């Protein structure tokens, strides 16, 4: 088995993060540092360590959804000591981590798991998993601006892909939109509206693929059903 796949299956990190750990020299096989992702290991004889800590056998897989509140970052640890979403899953004995990210000021549906293959499938750009949001935007974007957003706008790092955008309501000086995108550039939706001169003042993710947030209370989590995890894999 490839080393990064084993680390992902063992719940250490997603496959892409495991590759970075290997390149950074944090992984040893039989007490020898391995720097090349893709290195093959023998599960029945090789001894694997990450940061000097032995990697245990494949743990029980955990798949859960959290209704993330605003003000929390989607990392396991934060170098700036900001509160992380891990505070809401302290009672989970397995070592889990967020799947992808939500900006600190964005709330809503966030998945956490210890299954690196599952996480990689949902976050890798080639799978184009649809993510749906509700946004409140300052002002009332014109039909031309909405058309630009649907076709793709230029932000730092290139043009965005096509998006599904529909206005829902208008209240005082704000407009509410339902937005679905199939990519995940940093702060993408906020930057998309900024490109057409409108500010996003509220953003909430309500769905990943066909999985809906529903009425899960803010700051609470629930386990996914086998059917839900299978649908996300597909």
From the list 46, 78, 103, 105, the catalytic residue is 103
Long-range CB contacts (within 8 A, 24+) of 88-93: 88/219, 88/220, 88/221, 89/64, 89/221, 92/62, 92/64
User: Token match 């549906």: residue?
Assistant: 109
CA–CA gap between residue 24 and residue 33 (Å, rounded)? 10
CA–CA gap between residue 129 and residue 100 (Å, rounded)? 11
CA–CA gap between residue 128 and residue 162 (Å, rounded)? 11
Question: 40 forms bridges with which residues in the sheet?
Answer: 2
**Residue 155, CA distances (Å) to 22, 150, 159 in order:** 32, 14, 6
Active site residue 103: yes
- Residues with a catalytic annotation lie at 103
């Amino acid at each position: 088995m490839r080393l990064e796949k084993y680390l992902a299956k063992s719940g250490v990190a997603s496959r892409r993060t495991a590759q970075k750990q290997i390149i950074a020299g944090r992984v040893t096989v039989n007490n020898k540092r391995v720097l090349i992702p893709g290195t093959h290991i023998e599960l029945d004889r090789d001894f694997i360590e990450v940061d000097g800590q032995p990697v245990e056998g494949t743990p029980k897989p955990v798949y859960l959804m959290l209704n993330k509140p605003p003000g929390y970052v989607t990392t396991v640890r934060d170098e700036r000591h900001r509160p992380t979403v891990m505070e809401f899953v302290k009672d989970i004995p397995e070592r889990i981590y967020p799947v992808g990210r939500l900006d600190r000021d964005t709330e809503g549906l966030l998945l956490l798991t210890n299954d690196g293959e599952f996480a990689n499938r949902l976050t890798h750009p080639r799978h184009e998993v649809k993510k749906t949001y509700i946004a409140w935007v300052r002002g009332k974007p014109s039909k031309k601006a909405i058309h630009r957003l649907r076709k793709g706008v230029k932000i730092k790092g290139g043009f965005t892909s096509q998006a599904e955008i529909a206005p829902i309501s208008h209240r005082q000086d704000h407009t509410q939109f339902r937005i679905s995108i199939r990519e995940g550039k940093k702060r993408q939706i906020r930057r998309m509206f900024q490109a057409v001169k409108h500010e996003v003042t509220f953003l909430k993710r309500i769905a990943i693929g066909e999985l809906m947030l529903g009425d899960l209370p803010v700051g609470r989590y629930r386990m996914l059903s086998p059917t839900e995890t299978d649908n996300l894999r597909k």
